[in-house]
Amino acid sequence: MQKKRILLVDDEPNIRVVLGAILQSKGYEVSVAEDGFAALRSIRKSVPDLIISDLRMPNMNGFELLAIVREKFPAVPVIAISGEFVGEQVEGPLADLFLQKGSYAPDEMLDAVRNLLAKPHMLRNRHESSVWAPTGDAPVMITCSECLKSFPLEPCDDDARKSNQIQCIFCDAVLQYRLIAITKPVCA
């Protein structure tokens, strides 16, 4: 039986080392990435069976990475982790499960991984939405499902916000999106 492959994406080296070691000790093949760009490079080489991703990272954060994963690899289950955000706004559109950093035990993570890998994963419509959530004063970003480039949704673009449809500024593809508002991070 081939080992299940997990991609662990987190900018904190300690999380990558410790959680990676825990997952490897249970027989999973683990690759790691420090941000969304590194994760996409890893996915291009080999699509994992499951992705565990932090949400707050430099360069390309977890929100943008997971929006792309949902668009291009809808059958790959995802666990989002964060010490700054809450799960109600993340589970569903971006992740199959959300775990708050510092609030889950290793056994809880292992159970979640085992359960997500054991059940058949529903394919999502890859053209359905492109989602990127703002943090603080950051602009709402849209990631094009065709060219994979991101651009801001202008605050004054009321027509796009009402219709949940916008044209990519790079390739002119028409994108359907769902806006998820995360108004402020939860501080520890």
> CATH number of the domain that 89 lies in?
3.40.50.2300
* Of the candidate ranges 57-61, 105-109, 127-131, 176-180, the one whose mean pLDDT is the lowest: 127-131
Kindly state whether residue 47 falls inside one of the protein's structural domains. Answer: yes
Q: Which long-range contacts (CB under 8 A, 24 or more apart) does 143-151 make?
A: 143/64, 143/67, 143/68, 143/71, 144/168, 144/170, 144/171, 144/173, 144/175, 145/68, 145/71, 145/72, 145/173, 145/175, 146/171, 146/173, 147/171, 147/173, 148/68, 148/72, 150/64
Q: Where in the sequence is the domain holding 74, given as residue range(s)?
A: 5-118
Kindly state whether residue 68 falls inside one of the protein's structural domains. Answer: yes
Kindly state whether residue 129 falls inside one of the protein's structural domains. Answer: no
pLDDT of residue 168: 82
Total count of domains within the chain: 1
pLDDT of residue 185: 41
For the chain, give the percent of residues with pLDDT over 70: 67
